[in-house]
Structure 1
Amino acid sequence: MTRTEPLVRIENATKVYESRGWRNAGPAPVVNGVSLDIARGEIVGLVGESGSGKSTLGRMVLRLETLTGGRLWFDGQEITNASRNEMRPLRKAMQVVFQDPYAALSPRMRVGDFVAEPLRVHSGRSRREREERVAELFSTVGLDPALMKRFPHEFSGGQRQRICIARAIASDPSFIVADEPITALDVSIQAQIVNLFKELQQRMGLTYLFIAHDLSMVRYLCDRVAVMLHGRIVEIGPAASVFGNPLHPYTQALLSAAPVPDPDVERRRTRLIYDPERYPAGEALEERAPGHFLLV
């Protein structure tokens, strides 16, 4: 594999869930024919309303969800139908940071042991070496290593998310799916966590799929932005291009709903309403500007 090829390649990925409700509504497509390449060292933001399929797509990339259709490659290796044993060597290179840090932590496990678990599974280090590495990881994410023996309930939300990030980078991954990692945090803490993601990306050369609702954070952090609606990517391009010149009516409505920290500007702004009946779903992404694609 050449270094110019993407680290992650998704081709026409589809995920369909069978409805099991009492009305038996039939198959429910959550992700519908998504294709996306993520280059090494790139941060791709994935935005859209709740239920648009963002988190499902992220879980599919990690093979935490099987694909109903389409194909998936990681680091040049097709993993669409890879078995659990075939995926095991790749797990250390593919990590995830979830939305709710408290739910991700075991309340009965000391946080140092939680961070050390990937090292125990993948590295073969001795107990002492694992403890030294965990202390180093705590320092890396801005936590005092003296806190390693404490339990999750003794930490704030931002500290818990730092612990989860420490665990995610413990195995020296090349790719991280950050699934709305700042949604459950206070605004001031959100900025700290986003800066930590950016610092780690620069230090370790990480590649991110960053799923979020906060468009200002996505604009600050991400190189490219993909906008999802009803399981499809309707617009994708460089962050500056998508935010500066949104092409799809849904993207325009999404950006018009984002709050502006200026009361005067906020009062004068007009909220746009997206009407799906006026803009039927397109068939394929078409390049409208360099690297900027629109579903038409």
Structure 2
Amino acid sequence: MTASFARALEAAQDAAGSQNHPTHTLYVVATPIGNLADISLRALQVLRLVDAVACEDTRHTQQLLRAYGLDRPGGQLLAVHQHNEAEAAQGVLDKLAQGQRVAYVSDAGTPAISDPGARLVATVRAAGYRVLPLPGASSVVTVLSASGMTGDHGFVFAGFLPSKAAERQSAVQALAAEPRAVVLLEAPHRIEALAQALGVLGERRITIGRELTKQFEQIATLPAQDLAAWLAEKPERQRGEFALVLHDAPVTTSTGEGERVLRLLLPELPLKTAVKLAAEISGESKNVLYDRALQFKQGAEDGV
């Protein structure tokens, strides 16, 4: 533990020590997504106070606790991850039944959003015990806050798209028809494939956040069709964890000319070529016409 976190623990005691921390309770604690200083004073106090810490990875969590001067015996760390969440929840229930306080943390950020924890929370609530959330760092809201996303219709969280190429492409086609902003997450070994898949969204803007809150944090906004090339420019751009915002679709006023031309071209040309030519002829948005082309195609398959 550094001297700075020693002072942080003192501040945590001053700020939250007198607050009510009920027993028989599961505390869902957000932890930093990279920068250790992003821990909250309340989280430090609760992690010091609880009787046990359930966590996604016991080794990772022990290192995190040690950095804050909150080392715990191995027996007070309970492994609760995506492969054992249902069974491990019983161990948490046993401790709550004994009147203990248990914290749950994922490897980074806010648990039960994209990381494990949702099944544990549902099980604890179903058993009649209290679940007390401690807000904090989240890659989702962090990348949104830096994206400059200006749409009036909010956003949706899609998380990780499917790893199989065909399923991922189908998911991207669904995103093309989504007018709201969409938050995506991706791992370094799959970011290049995701960028290639998103390229079909053309000029629709994407903000990519790499290594958010860490030393080599990088945030860039560019058209979806340029994302793969941007990643390929420098090898380091494909390293780290990624959070992305697909910006809301631009609102355009259509004269109907683009749709008319599109209907004429689609029976004769591949979809992408028809969309490209219809956009050039009419001056209307390629993204909007692409969405309409997908709708026409689906309607034809359904016999509408």
TM-score, normalised with respect to structure 2: 0.30
More strand by share: 1
Higher relative contact order (CA 8 A, sep 6+): 1
Instruction: State which structure, 1 or 2, has the greater radius of gyration over its C-alpha atoms.
Output: 2
TM (norm. structure 1) is 0.31
